[in-house]
């Protein structure tokens, strides 16, 4: 008998040796498993997004997690012969060969970016594994989901050694049904987050913000009944302010599912049943007090079925454009805004919590704003929730930034998924009045097709808000005329030195323009995307970048051109061939807090640029909104200048610690005292 066992063991060992050796030397890599890797398993995609998350049955997994950096991407089951990290082999006797250990690995706080929390990972771009142990008692007759509010940028999830799935595209929430993987007692969740960006990702490789890696939003275990309310939309009917539109969907297409809707403050209570598609669609007569910046009224809305109750605080308002004006609740309004990045005051890394956004928004309110551009990607849901309460209107955006791979259908799918998830999550936020599909995307026909597809995706979910994209505009020819306007100013100005004056005269002579000509620079925003969007948004940098471009060409010093630019700015005309309102989505200048001089990077230069810009913009009647760049200095790999930038973009009105620069007051004063007081009562 013993002999037989020994023989079998010996056979198995020889068999293993043969397979192992064959695999080592196998030429056909696509063949079964090899020493160097295995065929990648299928990673399922997330389920439909669960809405109204804050009122669900939740167990939070926020808090301390362990992490291991994996620059060679060796921990995936498909890339290592040892079975990968998800196997989570445990040391029992001290004789097991294991070259990783999550129990003794360094710890990190989740939500949070590992490149913010570990100095060694500051510039790192690649895979990092996150590990969390939790106790659980699986429920009968219920589903259990894993909900992650945002994870950058490719995320693979394993639970108790099994593959749960994968999600590509950061910043937005996603969820998986994990019921079948859960055990009673201790469970081990392992998440691989990879912040590598490539040519076809969204955003693409080059961005002027930090690619924070890791789980950057809440992580929850969510319990629902087997048949549950997937999401519900309840918003004012823009055509009739005493009516709201109510749409609800359950996870299974079953007819006759009973739903109760209550708005206690309005003494409203009604019951509905789902149709054969599992939907409820109703126009409901109520007479809500409307939400507005001066009166951000929210109502408790409760939805229930036999098995569950969900609720939210919801405001009702309308937003539209007509001709060149914007109307909130049918009253004209201007967007008195500021642009932001999602980074908290005083703490490095991404902003993700209610507290982060409360601090950011309450400081931003000192600017007398009513509007925030949340650039350039979705923030966590807490932003819009806080904005709802603070009475701030919001522009939300997806990271279709600069040059995306317009022809790549995978890229388009990532972007579509991002905008759809953002809309589905924030569709009941009164504060959200603008969806933006892109920032500074160069003209081409594949780009038009791509962006039109994103606009249609929005339309499919929500047509009640304004659509836009921050455009780049102005043809080369238009900008050539800026050279002439600068030359005219230079030829006339007393303070210009004779040598430069002579150059200006020469430029004018060559263009056949007499020195006493009155010529103002006009910029026309005519990007064809203007046809498809409600709001014509435009980023411009008069007084900052739009000077540097011309110095070499004109052989004039940058100092002279900057001074001349400030002189001509108030007369610059900005308009669009589309009969729609213009929103100046960016302008700005870099300044280091505490740096005082009359040179660039000083607070004085930034403040002066703001004064000139605001004069220019208020002289242009088609401009109905602005959101200068930017509220706070933010981390940016493109900004290395030692002593000034040190990897911060310095265009903030406050620095990273919250210190206000001089331009802060210039903008605050403009919004308070100068910009069309009559349209601010809303
Ligand atoms: C832009 C971009 C923004 C940059 C900004 C800058 O036009 O939209 O992402 O950070 O300029 O500071 O140059």
Q: Is residue 651 in contact with ligand 1, taking CB distance under 6 Å?
A: yes
Architecture of domain 53-91+100-225: Sandwich (2.60)
Residue at token pair 């229930």: 304
**pLDDT tens per residue across span 154-190:** 999 999 999 999 999 999 999 999 999 999 999 999 9
Euclidean distance between CA atoms 109 and 310, whole angstroms: 29
Q: Is residue 425 in contact with ligand 1, taking CB distance under 6 Å?
A: no
Among 15-29, 130-144, 205-219, which is the least confidently predicted range? 15-29
What is the per-residue pLDDT for 477?
80
Angle at 221 between CA 216 and CA 224, to 5 degrees: 130
Residue with CA at minimum distance from ligand 1 atom 13: 208
Residue with CA at minimum distance from ligand 1 atom 9: 208
Phi, psi of 458 (to 5 degrees): -60, -50
What confidence category does residue 5 fall into, taking pLDDT thresholds of 50, 70 and 90?
very low
What confidence category does residue 82 fall into, taking pLDDT thresholds of 50, 70 and 90?
confident
Residue with CA at minimum distance from ligand 1 atom 7: 539
Q: Looking at the CA of residue 545, tell me the nearest atom of ligand 1.
A: 13
Is residue 460's pLDDT more than 80? yes
CA 308 to centroid of ligand 1, rounded, Å: 46
Q: Which two three-digit tokens encode residue 18?
A: 């043969």
175 sits in which H/E element: strand 174-177
CA 208 to centroid of ligand 1, rounded, Å: 6
CA 399 to centroid of ligand 1, rounded, Å: 13
Nearest to 150 by CA among 174, 127, 128, 168: 174
Write the CA distances from 211 to 122, 124, 340, 406, 413, integer angstroms: 10, 9, 16, 21, 20
Q: Is residue 586 in contact with ligand 1, taking CB distance under 6 Å?
A: yes
Angle at 129 between CA 125 and CA 130, to 5 degrees: 120
What is the per-residue pLDDT for 411?
98
Nearest to 217 by CA among 96, 93, 112: 112
Mean pLDDT of 454-465: 96
Is residue 238's pLDDT more than 80? yes
Angle at 505 between CA 500 and CA 509, to 5 degrees: 150
Write the CA distances from 621 to 325, 573, 580, integer angstroms: 10, 10, 11
Residue with CA at minimum distance from ligand 1 atom 10: 208
Architecture of domain 234-306: Sandwich (2.60)
Is residue 80's pLDDT more than 90? no
Give yes or no for a contact between 310 and 256, defined as CB atoms under 8 angstroms apart. Answer: no
pTM: 0.94
Residue with CA at minimum distance from ligand 1 atom 3: 208
Q: Which two three-digit tokens encode residue 471?
A: 């455009």
Exposure letters 326-360 (e unless 16+ CB within 10 A, then b): bbbbeebbbbbbbbbbbbbbeebbbbbbeebbebb
pLDDT, averaged across the chain: 93
Euclidean distance between CA atoms 575 and 478, whole angstroms: 13
What is the per-residue pLDDT for 34?
65
**pLDDT tens per residue across span 368-385:** 999 999 999 999 999 999
Q: Which residues pair with 672 in a beta bridge?
A: none
First-to-final CA distance of the chain: 91
> Which superfamily does CATH assign the domain made up of 332-473+525-549+578-673 to?
Glycosidases (3.20.20.80)
Q: Is residue 633 in contact with ligand 1, taking CB distance under 6 Å?
A: no
Is residue 419's pLDDT more than 50? yes
Q: Is residue 440 in contact with ligand 1, taking CB distance under 6 Å?
A: yes
What is the per-residue pLDDT for 552?
85
Q: Is residue 537 in contact with ligand 1, taking CB distance under 6 Å?
A: no
Q: Which two three-digit tokens encode residue 34?
A: 């090899």
**Best mutation site among 547, 584, 649 for ligand 1, i.e. most ligand atoms within 8 A of its Cβ?**
649
What confidence category does residue 476 fall into, taking pLDDT thresholds of 50, 70 and 90?
confident
* Domain locations along the chain: 9-36, 53-91+100-225, 234-306, 332-473+525-549+578-673
Pairing of strands 63-69, 106-110: antiparallel
Euclidean distance between CA atoms 555 and 504, whole angstroms: 10
Q: Is the peptide bond before 203 cis (omega within 30 degrees of 0)?
A: yes
**Best mutation site among 397, 439, 586, 645 for ligand 1, i.e. most ligand atoms within 8 A of its Cβ?**
586
In the chain, pLDDT over 70 holds for what percent of residues?
93
Q: Specify the DSSP class assigned to residue 571.
A: G
What is the per-residue pLDDT for 170?
95
Give yes or no for a contact between 428 and 283, defined as CB atoms under 8 angstroms apart. Answer: no
Pairing of strands 623-626, 582-586: parallel
Alpha helices in 427-584 (DSSP H): 445-461, 476-492, 498-510, 545-554, 558-568
**pLDDT tens per residue across span 482-520:** 999 999 999 999 999 999 999 999 999 999 999 999 999
């Amino acid at each position: 008998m013993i002999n037989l066992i020994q023989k079998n063991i010996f056979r198995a060992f020889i068999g293993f040796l043969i397979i192992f050796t064959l695999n080592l030397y196998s030429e056909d890599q696509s063949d079964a498993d090899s020493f160097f890797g295995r065929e990648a398993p299928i990673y399922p995609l997330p389920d439909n997004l669960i809405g109204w998350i804050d009122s669900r049955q939740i167990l939070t997994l926020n808090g301390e997690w362990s992490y291991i950096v994996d620059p060679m991407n060796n921990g995936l089951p498909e890339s290592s012969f040892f079975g990968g990290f998800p196997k989570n082999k445990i040391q029992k006797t001290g004789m097991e060969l294991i070259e990783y250990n999550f129990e003794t690995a360094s710890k990190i706080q989740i939500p949070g970016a590992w490149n913010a929390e570990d100095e060694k990972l500051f510039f790192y771009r690649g895979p990092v594994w996150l590990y969390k142990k939790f106790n659980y008692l699986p429920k009968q007759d219920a589903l259990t989901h894993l909900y992650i509010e945002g994870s950058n940028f490719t995320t693979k999830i394993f639970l108790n050694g099994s593959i749960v799935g994968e999600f590509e595209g950061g910043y937005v929430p996603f969820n998986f049904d994990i019921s079948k993987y859960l055990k009673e007692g201790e469970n081990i969740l392992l998440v691989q987050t990879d912040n590598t960006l490539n040519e076809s990702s969204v955003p693409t490789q080059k961005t002027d913000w930090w690619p924070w890696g890791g789980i950057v939003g809440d992580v929850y275990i969510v319990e629902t009944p087997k048949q549950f309310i997937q999401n519900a939309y309840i918003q004012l009917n823009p055509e009739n302010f005493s009516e709201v539109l109510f749409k609800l969907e359950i996870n299974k297409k079953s007819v006759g599912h009973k739903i109760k809707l209550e708005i206690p403050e309005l003494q409203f209570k009604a019951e509905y049943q789902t149709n054969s598609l599992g939907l409820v669609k109703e126009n409901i007569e109520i007479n809500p007090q409307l939400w507005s910046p001066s009166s951000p009224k929210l109502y408790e809305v409760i939805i229930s079925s036999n098995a569950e109750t969900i609720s939210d605080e919801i405001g009702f308002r309308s937003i539209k454009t007509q001709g060149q004006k914007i109307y909130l609740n049918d009253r004209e309004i201007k967007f008195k805004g500021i642009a932001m990045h999602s980074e908290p005051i005083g703490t490095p890394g991404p902003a993700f919590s209610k507290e982060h956004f409360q601090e950011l928004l309450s400081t931003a309110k000192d600017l007398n704003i009513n509007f925030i551009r949340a650039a350039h990607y979705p923030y966590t849901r807490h932003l819009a929730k806080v904005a709802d309460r603070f009475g701030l209107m919001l522009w939300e955006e997806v990271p279709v930034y600069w040059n995306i791979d317009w022809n790549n259908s995978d890229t388009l799918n990532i972007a579509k998924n991002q905008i759809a998830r953002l809309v589905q999550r924030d569709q009941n936020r009164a504060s959200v009045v603008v969806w933006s599909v892109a920032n500074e995307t160069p003209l081409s026909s594949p780009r038009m097709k791509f962006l039109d597809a994103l606009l249609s995706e929005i339309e499919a979910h929500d047509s009640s808000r304004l659509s836009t994209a921050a455009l780049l505009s102005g043809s080369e020819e238009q900008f050539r005329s800026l050279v002439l306007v600068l030359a005219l100013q230079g030829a006339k100005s007393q303070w210009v030195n004779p040598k430069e004056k002579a150059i200006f005269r020469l430029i004018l002579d060559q263009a056949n323009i007499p020195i006493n000509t009155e010529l103002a620079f006009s910029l026309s925003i005519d990007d064809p995307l203007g046809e498809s969007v409600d709001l014509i948004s435009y980023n411009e940098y008069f007084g900052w970048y739009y000077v540097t471009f011309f110095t070499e060409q004109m052989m004039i010093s940058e100092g002279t051109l900057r001074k001349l630019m400030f002189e001509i700015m108030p007369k610059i005309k900005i308009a669009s061939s589309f009969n729609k309102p213009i929103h100046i989505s960016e302008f700005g200048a870099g300044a280091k807090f505490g740096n005082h001089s009359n040179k660039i990077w000083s607070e004085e230069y930034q403040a002066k640029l703001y004064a000139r810009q605001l004069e220019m913009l208020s002289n242009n009647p088609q401009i109905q909104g602005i959101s200068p760049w930017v509220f706070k200095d933010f981390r940016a790999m493109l900004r290395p200048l030692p002593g000034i930038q040190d990897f911060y973009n310095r265009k903030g009105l406050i620095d990273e610690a919250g210190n206000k620069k001089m331009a802060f007051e210039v903008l605050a004063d403009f919004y308070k005292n100068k910009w069309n007081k009559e349209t601010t009562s809303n």
